[in-house]
Chain A
Amino acid sequence: MVSANSELTYDSKIEGDVIVSRADAVINWIRSNSMWPMPMGLACCAIELMATGASRFDIARFGAEVMRFSPRQADVMIVAGTVTYKMSSAVRRIYDQMSAPKWVIAMGACASTGGMYRSYAVLQGVDRIIPVDVYVSGCPPRPEALLDALVKLQDKVKREPSASKLLSA
């Protein structure tokens, strides 16, 4: 009974090599399923980020296993850790070097708000210098939380009007 459901699936003999879809759906499908992260590991959250990338939690299941240490090849910056004022200019410059479209995940309490470091030395939330798409709570968050943030970001990307943005750019 291998061929029982064949009429329900795409059949190139009937439809030819043509698929009808929306440009947004196609572009967003491509973008959301291979987001290459820029691991901005600054503190202990980076350890959880490494765990997320390693075999047990395996971020490859969501197409984001290609950690790129060059911002020019990355799509999503994962700010994992405490951003000090001294480091903040470097974070902003690295963000500026990423090519559009680009997104940011603020991982953990420190990156989101400064966390427990209310002091003269720590930036009170990375959203003061770069636009953040997803915030992850936790100190540090478990790898599942980061994976959830990635899925949330994929959902967000799937809702973007990518085609009109590309045409107007």
Chain B
Amino acid sequence: MPRALEALAALKGRWAGVADRASLDHPAVNVPAADLLAVLKSLKEEHGFDMLTDVSGVDWAAGARPRFTVVYHLFSTRSHEYVRIAADCADDAAPEVPSAVGLWPGADWHEREAFDMYGIRFSGHPDLRRILMWEGYPHYPLRKDFPLAGIETILPDAEVVAETKTGAIAAPMMGGPFVAHSGGINLTDAEPRAKDESWTERRPKPGA
């Protein structure tokens, strides 16, 4: 029996809330957010999953229950196996899970990114600021209710905004789908082109 399965079986015996999770590749379990830190600590210290390779968020769309899930991928540098740990956030409006920075310092920026993109708070994180978008950006861009084109927003620097009269704009992908032609030997003809180039961000799409 591979060590990953052994470890997960041990976890299920110890914490009642740990349950198997459907997975196509690596062994995976769902863990209640309350037990998350204890489970991660056990995996790290007792089962040899010493490397945290990823922390990511999932938004199951507005209205879904639970709406937000945090997913951890652990790797064992001894048995060369991965396990996946998923924890649902109890609160859909203000999702929160405990921070794993105390176990793996490398979780710091992963958690900041999940916070930046999904608005999931990691309690106990030493420095939970946005990491990609600027401080004060009002949206969480990877949430399902955030439009692909973006939302019109004021830029962070007031002086630059006053000088340039510009801001973050909604930039819809115009004219798609994009189609590449064989074009023969002429590479300019072969470039992917929009099927409908009649509309831009200044000229709205007719009938939309």
| A residues with CB within 8 A of B | 85-86, 88-89, 92-93, 96, 114, 118-122, 124, 128-130
Contact = CB atoms under 8 A, between A and B. Distances in A.
B157 interface: yes
B172 A118 contact: yes
Given A86-B133, A88-B155, A118-B149, 10 more contacts: A86-B156, A88-B160, A89-B157, A92-B163, A118-B174, A119-B149, A120-B141, A120-B146, A124-B169, A129-B164
Nearest to B173: A118
A44 to B, nearest CB: 18
B61 interface: no
Contacts of B150: 119-121
B160 A89 contact: yes
Contacts of B163: 92, 96
A128 B166 contact: yes
B134 A85 contact: yes
Interface of B: 132-134, 139, 141, 146, 148-151, 153, 155-157, 160, 163-164, 166, 168-169, 171-174, 201
B172 A129 contact: no
A89 B173 contact: no
A51 B160 CA distance: 32
Nearest to A86: B134
B164 A121 contact: no
Contacts of A119: 148-150, 171
Contacts of B156: 86, 89
Contact of B164 (A86, A92, A124): A92
Given A89-B155, A89-B157, A114-B171, A120 B149 contact: yes
Nearest to A89: B157
A119 B146 CA distance: 11
A40 B146 CA distance: 31
A120 B153 CA distance: 9
Contact of B168 (A85, A96, A118): A85
A86 B133 CA distance: 7
A124 B166 CA distance: 11
Contacts of A130: 164
Nearest to B167: A85
